[in-house]
Homo-oligomer: A and B are copies of this chain.
Amino acid sequence: MATGPTIRDVAARAGTSTAVVSYVLNDGPRPVAPATRARVLAAVAELGYRRNNLARALRANRSSTLGLVVPDLAKPFFAELTRAVEDAAFTRGFRLLVGSAHFDAERENEQLHALLDARVDAVLLVPSQEPKSAVALLRRAQIPHVLVHRTHPDTVCVAGDDTDAGRQAADHLLGHGHHNIALLGAGAGDDPVSLRARGASAALTDNDRPVPQWAVLGCPFPNLREEAYRATRTLLATRPEITAICATTDEHALGALRAASETGRRVGEDLALVSIDGTELGAYLAPALTAVTAPFDTLGADAVDAVLSSSGVAPAIRQHQFTLTVRRSCGCRS
């Protein structure tokens, strides 16, 4: 396969042994002095060295199977992302085994171990929470891995530009002339919902129009549908001036639609709704959902490519853009 630089080239340039280069690239099993580590990483960068994990796996009794852990398969977003990863894996000659973590740290850890015990060739993880310990586990296991839909500085990450997605959603509602916009979803973390909420907040406050009277409505994980439903019921009862809702996920949008339906508000007519996620389900809701849509197929394909070719060489964020899908809920086609 590869005709590029080898681990011997890297070792020669860094003035060390191939074993030490391996310890640096695999984060173990032996410690490496910081100065040596820096020389090795510099040599990797200068030579453009890429570990051929696929070839390594072939030599090492590979299973032709990839593993994926997601927070909850019963949520349409993760189900569609899973299908995209699965299609990418099969297209490249790999099968895919999936574990669901139920948004629970311990279960995520169990499912990662199940995949390691199953001797999959590589692991893709959509983290249920801050992924530090999961990343540490995967590094210790010396298995190619990639994070999807969430980032961590120590590893390769494939994610959508969630901040920009939030901005797009809010901008669309501002473009409709709304001034009183509620934002469903909040957070101070670096999880996708928080990033989307911050992007939307920035758009709402950083524009020439009057600042919205009312902005952010938090909804605790993991039952976003139900929390968003309750929050929107309260909102519609107490804040009649609100004419538009920006939902940070389709789960939030489902809750908002239910609340609007039960209280007689006509979404797309007297209440505008824009969502973020863009799952296939949105086309089948009444009214059909206008949504800033995640690049599911691109995320799946790039995550599989990343984990089969380059993981472990250098941490990086491979970011992909969302696109707006206009349907009826925003009022564009009422």
Contact = CB atoms under 8 A, between A and B. Distances in A.
Interface of A: 16-20, 22, 28-36, 63, 65, 67, 72-76, 79-80, 82-83, 86-87, 90, 95-100, 102, 107, 109-111, 113-120, 137, 140-142, 225, 229, 254-255, 257-258, 260-261, 267, 280-281, 283-288
B286 A65 contact: no
A80 B74 contact: yes
A261 to B, nearest CB: 4
Q: Copies per complex? A: 2
Contacts of A118: 63, 65, 97, 117-120
A114 B95 contact: yes
A99 B110 contact: no
Contacts of A257: 284-286
Contacts of A87: 102
Nearest to A251: B284
B113 A100 contact: no
A29 B33 contact: yes
A34 B28 CA distance: 11
A140 B16 contact: yes
Contacts of A33: 28-30
Contacts of A120: 118
Nearest to A79: B74
Nearest to A81: B74
B97 A114 contact: yes
> Across chains A and B, which 9 residue pairs bring their CB atoms closest together, nearest first?
A29-B33, A118-B118, A261-B286, A95-B114, A254-B284, A74-B79, A97-B97, A98-B98, A74-B83
B284 A286 contact: no
Contacts of A225: 280, 284
A75 to B, nearest CB: 8
Contacts of A260: 286
Contacts of A72: 83
Nearest to A29: B33
16 contacts: A17-B140, A29-B119, A30-B116, A63-B114, A74-B76, A83-B100, A87-B102, A95-B113, A96-B114, A97-B114, A97-B118, A98-B100, A254-B284, A258-B284, A260-B286, A267-B286
